[in-house]
Each structure stands twice: as C-alpha cells, then as structure tokens.
Amino acid sequence: MTATTPVLVARELTRAAGGPARELPAALDGIGLEDAATVAVAELVARCGVPINTDEASIGVSVAHRGERVDHVLRLVRGGSVRAERSAEQAPCRLVFELADLVVALYGSQPSPPVGTHRFERLDDWFMTNGDPADPFRIIESYMKAMTTVLAAVSTAGRELNALAAKHVADKWGLWHWFTPHYDRHFERLRAEPVRVLEIGIGGYGDPDVGGGSLRVWRDYFPRGHVFGIDYFAKNGLDEERITTIQGSQDDSEFLRALAAEHGPFDIVIDDGSHINGHILTTFRELFPHVRNGGLYVVEDLWTAYAPGYGGQATSSAGEGTSIGLLKSVVDALHYEEWTSPDEGADAPSYAASTVGLHVYRNIAFLEKGVNAEGRIPSFAPRTVDYY
C-alpha cells in the first residue's frame, strides 16, 4: 500500500484481520511493520481503561514480524490516561506480540484466546531493588494492576475475574501467574450457584489480619457462595459473613478429615498452600473424596515438582511423589476400565472411578469429579491390528 495515514492503516489492518489466516502475513508485509505496529499500539492504548495502579508503572510492548520488531513503553499513572512512547528501554515487564497475533486480537471478529497470544518478560531484580522496604509488596501490586489494564485491552478472556484479582491483589493474575482466565473457563458455569469453595493457603504468614486476597476474589465471583480458607497460621481477622478461615496444616490427615466432615462436601477445592509436593499429595488424598460430583479440584504452582527444595525432582520429567507425577497417574486412572493387566483394574487408585476429566495448563491443573464408569470398549472391537 502506498498511503500510510493511520486511518488507512487501521482500515487495512481490520480488513486483514477479518480475512483468511493464511493471507494475513502477506497482507501485513504490504502494510509494513513500522506503520502497522504504530497503529496497533495506538489502538491498544485507546482501549485501555483508566489505570488503578498505586505507583506509576512502565510496561514495554514489542511488536515483531519477520524477525524484526518495534518497541514501545506504556506509562500508566493512576487516574490518568495510558501514554505510549517509542522506546526500547528495559521496562520491568514487557509484552512481546507477533504482529499477526496482535492484529487478530485487536481487529479480529473472534474473541482472543486466554493464553498463547504473547511472550512475557520480567526483570525480577528490578522488583527486588526498587520496592519500598517499608511496603515491599506495593510495587508488585502496582504492576499487577497495570498489567491487568493493558491486557484487558487485547482480550476479553476472564476479564472480570482478572479485574477482581487485581482489585484484591491476588497473585493469580498479572505478574507472576496467569491463572484467572483458566479459572473463569472452568468456574463460570457455577457462578450463580450457592457453592462451597475451599482454598488451602491464605497468605500473609503470621499476621492474622493480612492476606485473604484470593478468598475475597471468590467471595465476589460467586455472589451466593461461601468461601473457606485454611492456613498454617491463624487468620481469624479475615473472617466475615461469607468467608470462614480455619487454622491447620494441609499435611495433617486427621485435621483434613475433620474439616471435610464439618464443612464439606465442597464444590471446589483449590490447593494454593505450601506447594510442598508431599503436602499436595496428602491434601489430594484426603480432600478429593469430599468434592461433590460435578465439582472441581485445583492444584496450583506445579513448578515445585521440579524444585528439590519443595520435595520435587531436579529433572525434566518429574515422577512419583510430585504433583506432576500425580497428574500423570491421573491420566492412567481415567482409563482404568481399559487396562489390560491380568488384574484388570484391581490396582486402580481410589480416585479412578470418580475422576472424569483433567485439564493441565502452565503451573495449574483442574480435575473434574464425577462417575467414571462408562464401560470398556466392546469386546468385539479388535485388540490387535491385522490390516497392515
């Protein structure tokens, strides 16, 4: 194209985003990375809401195409407007989009997927050295909220839950983890129900009045639900009408059984506790039976399966005794009726007949509870291949 005014570029980007995917790269070649990136970033900024981050935040946005990229930095100030500057400075956080992905996210007719649209880069040392010693989490909170503002402009996936996580400073979205779109995908059908949600791990360590961000997220997300939280430390200062905290260890089987007897069955159980692999296995063994059919059991922070300091394994393939090892076993257990061992399922774990689905994402897994008894593939179905 010869005319490169922003209006014409935006028109061409809209047309390209609505056409066949195979034709998009060539269409973007015709527009050119420089012009397309400038207009796309301007569109992103225009779609941003009013920033709510406490302190000013700088978030890099890079747009790449055919091995080249254009860099910008977005400045977000609470109550103001988002400003974009052409800059390659090392921002504490940077989103890197392929031009085609960004164009489809902004101008396409289909909703953007919850993940897989960009790369994320973070300078961990910057957060360690630029925080206020008197309030070290303030800078983290600011960037969580700033990131939520920016990403809401390119995807509607989990938008309300993302905003709740930012509001209550729950680390399930916006800086360290990117869980909330997955939560929204699996929890949305239960929103109007009087669910009982149990989350292991409240946060705030020994202070009884600190933590509970996630509990407040679920309180707001499920307006008819009751949220229970357990923590190693007493958290009674966080109790309110629809939030109940209970002190205890997730590695104490007797405590967990008593908890389930008093407050269960649960619609949802979320393990965001110690992340110690042995604790994860104990908690699953004791609490999964107390999730009702149709409910969900969630395990966060699967990365510790590869961390020896958490009882994980320094290997590229975590095995028995880890959270990842448990999930691998669940895949086998789902198919226990198809096993061809001499005992034909006699050694199946207790959860085999009550697990109907497993969804694994980066650092988080969702197990669906139900009746897993569909019957074996018919006996007349060939068990050997004889047509090659």
Q: Which residues are catalytic?
A: 275
In sequence order, the 6+-apart residues with CB closer than 8 A to the CB of 128 are none
247 vs 239: CA distance, rounded Å: 12
Q: Which residue has the tokens 């066949």?
A: 20
> Which residue from 206, 265, 198 is spatially nearest to 229, judged by alpha carbons?
198
List, in sequence order, the alpha helices (H) in 152-293. 159-167, 180-187, 213-221, 253-263, 277-287
Q: Which residues is 71 bridged to in the sheet?
A: 62
122 vs 145: CA distance, rounded Å: 15
Residue pair 172/179 in contact by the 8 Å Cβ criterion: yes
> Which residue from 305, 309, 310 is spatially nearest to 329, judged by alpha carbons?
305
Q: Which residues is 246 bridged to in the sheet?
A: 230
Identify the three-state secondary structure at position 140: helix
- Provide the token pair at 381: 């179905």
